[in-house]
Structure 1
Amino acid sequence: MSSRTVQNVVVLMGGPSAEREVSLSSGRECASALRAEGFTVTELDAGADVVERLKALAPDVVFNALHGRWGEDGCIQGVLEWLAIPYTHSGILASSTAIDKERTKALYRAHGLPVVASQLAPREEIEARHVMPPPYVVKPYNEGSSVGIYIVSKDANTPPKLAEDAAEVLMVEAFAPGRELTCSVMGGKAMGVTELLTDGWYDYHAKYAPEGGARHICPAELPEEITAAIRDHSERAHAALGCRGVSRTDFRWDDTAGLDGLVLLETNTQPGMTPTSLTPEHAGLVGMSFGQLCRWMVEDASCGR
């Protein structure tokens, strides 16, 4: 970003996506931390009047705490570019690519990063037959926070019955067995690796419920070869997508298969910043408090790159 002094920060939060509540939680936490760091902060719930509100507020920087569609898919990034307001996290291209899980996987493959088989399919076909041999996962290809995911077990005799509000086209992905792992990258460098332990699978509740459901082991207790590979793959994914600021890449590792059992699932260009979120945890591994992480993100904000 430019060398001008940053004082007034607007934290964009809420919005209309399926991840609205997560975004509100992230936004409140970040706003509080930035105030403690000495910034003048305005919290803005992104609605239809967001352009007019931003013009009136004229912030030095926008801290983008929006999640899901419209907030991390390139839409709000385009608005901020048009208004010439520096903003946190990735730009238009990286955001629009990373939100699309199938396009992200194609990019991973092109850069030699390991993924499982997947395809996009119409919902009527998914409900009519197994479009790939079970076990597999059905999920939106452009949502986050484990919204709308179905796991089809290996002994399932029938295809899944989807919710009435499911999208017309969804992603079908071979189930990746093993341990749930994630790694955050800040400024192009991996910060740390967390293993997530749950009684079931790492769903929306496990990610965000205050009482947990997910237990974090940070740093993850892994063979050095696997930790090094996760850090390397996370940095390469961040670079391949053209991310800036902070990103987080999720993995599964089948520890019975060694390095061959490690696969990338997706990269989140705007990781959650809630009390139970992972990226603040990773920042702690490199000696950064939550407030210092938020400050770094504001000072790293830019427009047009």
Structure 2
Amino acid sequence: MRHTSRIITFLTLFTLLPSAAHASSYTYVVNAGDTLSKIAREHQTTVDEIMQHNQLDSDRLSIGQTLALTGTSLPIVDLTTANPYQVNENPELLEESKKSKKARVVADVLHVRNTPSLEGEIVGKLYYGSRVELIEPGAEWTKIRYEQEESYVASEFLKGMERRSNDSKDDDLSVKKLDELEEIVQPLLKVPYVLGGTTTNGFDCSGFTSYVFAQMGVTLPRTSDEQFLGGEVVDLEDAKPGDLLFYDALNKGRVSHVAIYLGDDMIVHANGDDVRYGKMEYMNKLYPFYGVKRYLDFE
């Protein structure tokens, strides 16, 4: 993204998986700096829906104004502040783990512990969308591999990853590309957004994609619109991990944002705040989608 005055703020509230969300009607109090478009983005709704629901005849807001919203209200999960006496079960994970030994985190922050207990020492934390290797899935606690050590996380905040039944050469290559991508991306999570940034001190959206692809031996053009002009055109339904997705996040009538597709409806991008995982489904609802380009070799 190229203009600081129009940087798109994409909070974790909209990147949580639907299975972790709770659809509801609720109220929101307008704060300094809020706009209808900002509120709509943060609550998975649209400006038109907010205006119609609240019978607004203009987009002007006042600090302290109360708006009725309908959308997805998503809690931030941090097990230091969650109920210290209970861990909810996730029996679905046991079934999902039979198909794949990988899962993704569906909490904003998930603490990693050295024992399967809320009293266990916190040895690290995982962010929403992070992919984890399952060693021993359980209904309440799951043993995972974390920084080459065996550790534990609460099972209720994991979702098993889908695995295609087809073991074709193409699928094997996609899995290898995803493994390579995840190894590069996960240490970059939470690196701040910096306009024009191309290093681990800060990235903009195309600086992030350029950096990641450089680690894979591929040189990309510098900006998102230039990246869109290159590469191989791919239909969205044929997208594979490592393909680039392009959006008009600034509503300028041209490409202004790029994200890396990871499969299973997941993306990773520098979104205006920092590097984070997200849902392709939500991006496609929020911004005009321009297409998919492939720079990686799957042959």
Q: TM-score, normalised by structure 1?
A: 0.30
Bigger relative contact order, structure 1 or 2, given CA contacts below 8 A and separation 6+? 1
The answer to which structure has the higher strand fraction is 2
Q: TM-score, normalised by structure 2?
A: 0.30
Larger Cα Rg: Structure 1 or Structure 2? 2
